[in-house]
Amino acid sequence: MPCVADWLNSPLSIVQGIFAQNGPSPDWEKKVSEYFTEKLKENNATNWVPSLNDVPLHYLKPNSLVKFRCMVQDMFDPEFYMGVYETIDPNTKTRVLHFGKYRDVAECGPQQEIDLNSSQMVTLERQTFYCVPVPGESAWVKEAYISASQARVSPSTSYTPSRHKRSYEEDEDMELHPSKQKEQHMGNIGDIHGCGEPKRLETEASAGHQLISPNCSPPLDLNFPLPGEKGPACLVKVYERWDSFKVNDTLEVYGILSVDPVLSIVNNEERENSSSPLDPVQCMDTVEEQRVHSPPASLVPRIHVILAQKLQHINPLLPAFLNEEESKSFVSSFMMELSPLRAELLGFLTHALLGDSLAAEYLILHLISTVYARRDVLPLGKFTVNLSGCPKNGIFTEHIYRIIQQLVPASYRLQMTIENMNHSRFIPHKDYTANRLVSGVLQLASNTSLVIDETLLEQGQLDTTGVHNVTALGNLITWQKVDYDFSYHQMEFQCNINVLITSEGRSLLPSDCQVHLQPQIIPPNMEEYMNSLLTAVLPSMLNKFRIYLSLLRLLDYSISDEVTKAVEEDFVEMRKNDPESITADDLHKTLLVARFLSLSAGQTTLSRERWLRAKQLEALRKARLQHQKCVNGNEL
């Protein structure tokens, strides 16, 4: 029976064994999937598999089993490959059958030739996804995944062409292998690679997401949605059920790492010969398309997928799938301590919001909100909060964002300045020359927290791009969709993004709920005050907050017929008493508040008590807005 080292370090030898036993029959592929699926279920075996998110590429052995936590940024056209092929030795006429699955380059010995006319040859199809790390993934998420990993890796000696490369953030690399990394830097300082400049030591993306490729062609754009993102991008080759995945899905893939230097050589030759009239097949792709679809493997590695699964969430403190039996005990035991935990979180957020407990209540409801269904075009469950009354200058919002970053798995702070509105790329668009989807800031994974800082907005003129960007933000908030630009038409991509808007007055953008901040304390030094908040909370309590917010948005919720009838009667009574100010929209909003209020207390059905509490919160919120309106005239 193969040992752990075999299926982790040499998965292709396992595949070869299964292929040899079952021949070219279709069963062999199914048996490969079953073998690795069973292996990964044993004794937390998933923690033994090295992750491209954590480990630099030069520490990973080529053709070993790896995993990658990622978002599908783009889908390329399907490609054909030799699923089964036959080689022949010209001297001895010996024929050998090979599999082409999980490989980029056909295996062929020095004395062998591929028989392209063999009756045994089978041509198959696979799909290629361009995948990037989850945009805006929090540092605590990365650290938790790293600490849970039991993978044993060391610098690869068989992969010298990219030993000077790096695939993720320098600080993480230094933490994992400080002495080895120091040696690595020392050993490469003097490397010169034919372009007259020292070779880049790193493959991490700068704010422009660009890398220098080995042949000194123009910089390679890794196409990350958010500026300043770091980490590897991968070409993920999917062999089955690829139609069950879509752009922006969050996946965890397990597969065979391919970083064959031959790929770079072949691609460079193709680019050099692309203008040749002799080979019309090579001329079908533009140079730009070849660069994007076949980048150097040392910069954009390939993963040949054996197992891929959509992730319900990316919180490493929670079981990956809550519907499994072993996860149910975790959920039930956690729910037992929910009430005191909610009180702790409310206190923590009240301090963060300068003593405003009402704003803290609404922030909790916002953080556990999620789109749970769609009725026609209307997304149900979205709860965009506009926190108005924030100090103007962005410092307060920056600190609130830092606290949210510590609580949620993925987030991004969008600074709404005239400069950013007019010059940032919010909407992804199709580049037909390179045949790829060029990412934009609003290409985010589900359940990402987007904090829009409107306190930085100054007077100025929005140009055409700025107007389009503001419109895109409005559509995202109202309809939970982004219309990607395909030049000749727009394509709608649904999303599920939690949007929090901080503003001085009422936001220019739409929102589901405006809460006006009423600070009870004004700290003399905001930075010291916010830092002391984070240092005062115990790491164990912070982890409980993180579990709380992720878990509650995954729970089911329902309203019984009895409570529905009571709510309807209550609404009719409210309309009788005050027909002018109570609308159907108010009912919908109060029901939404009641939903998240119930879930925040661990209740999956609406009770009379929660309904009354929701009405009370809404009354307090409206009274505060009305008071502010009286103070400032008509301006909120």
Reported as a single tens digit per residue, the pLDDT across 11-41 is: 999 999 999 998 777 789 999 999 999 999 8
456: DSSP letter = G
For residue 221, give the H/E element and its range. strand 220-221
Query: How high is the pLDDT of residue 200?
Result: 29
Model confidence at 590, in pLDDT bands (50, 70, 90)? very high
Model confidence at 181, in pLDDT bands (50, 70, 90)? very low
pLDDT in tens, 443-485: 999 999 999 999 999 999 999 999 999 999 999 999 999 999 9
Q: CB count, 10 Å around CB of 292?
A: 23
30 CB-side CA count, 13 A: 4
For residue 555, CA distances in Å to 106, 132, 563 come to: 48, 28, 19
Specify which residues 425 forms β-bridges with.
none
Token representation of residue 23: 């021949």
For residue 421, CA distances in Å to 101, 384, 418, 469 come to: 46, 20, 5, 6
Residue 340 has pLDDT above 80, yes or no: yes
Closest CA to 447 of 162, 141, 37: 141
Q: Read off the pLDDT of each residue in 390-394 and give the average, rounded to a whole number.
A: 85
Model confidence at 287, in pLDDT bands (50, 70, 90)? confident
Residue 487 has pLDDT above 70, yes or no: yes
- The amino acid occupying position 44 is N
Q: How far apart are CA 520 and CA 362, in angstroms?
A: 17
Q: How far apart are CA 338 and CA 353, in angstroms?
A: 22
Residue 224 has pLDDT above 80, yes or no: yes
Residue 380 has pLDDT above 70, yes or no: yes
Specify which residues 210 forms β-bridges with.
221
- Which of 18-32, 122-136, 521-535 has the weakest average pLDDT? 18-32
Model confidence at 62, in pLDDT bands (50, 70, 90)? very high
Mean pLDDT, all residues of the chain: 86
Query: How high is the pLDDT of residue 394?
Result: 78
Q: Read off the pLDDT of each residue in 419-440 and give the average, rounded to a whole number.
A: 96
Residue 560 has pLDDT above 70, yes or no: yes
Higher per-residue pLDDT: 187 or 579:
579
For residue 324, CA distances in Å to 329, 331, 370 come to: 10, 11, 22
Cβ atoms of 242 and 65 within 8 Å: the answer is no
Query: How high is the pLDDT of residue 218?
Result: 63
Q: How far apart are CA 301 and CA 313, in angstroms?
A: 25
Specify which residues 71 forms β-bridges with.
132, 250
Model confidence at 272, in pLDDT bands (50, 70, 90)? low
pTM: 0.87
Q: Is 550 exposed, middle or buried (0-12, 13-18, 19+ CB in 10 A)?
A: buried
Token representation of residue 31: 């048996």
Residue 296 has pLDDT above 50, yes or no: yes
Query: How high is the pLDDT of residue 4?
Result: 53
Query: How high is the pLDDT of residue 591?
Result: 96
Q: Read off the pLDDT of each residue in 516-520 and give the average, rounded to a whole number.
A: 96
- Which of 17-26, 240-249, 498-507, 546-555 has the weakest average pLDDT? 17-26
Q: Read off the pLDDT of each residue in 580-608 and give the average, rounded to a whole number.
A: 93
Query: How high is the pLDDT of residue 435?
Result: 94
Q: How far apart are CA 512 and CA 500, in angstroms?
A: 10
Model confidence at 368, in pLDDT bands (50, 70, 90)? very high
Query: How high is the pLDDT of residue 266?
Result: 55
Higher per-residue pLDDT: 69 or 210:
69
Q: Read off the pLDDT of each residue in 59-63 and give the average, rounded to a whole number.
A: 93
pLDDT in tens, 529-542: 999 999 999 999 99
Query: How high is the pLDDT of residue 211?
Result: 56
Cβ atoms of 215 and 294 within 8 Å: the answer is no
Residue 330 has pLDDT above 80, yes or no: yes
Query: How high is the pLDDT of residue 3?
Result: 56
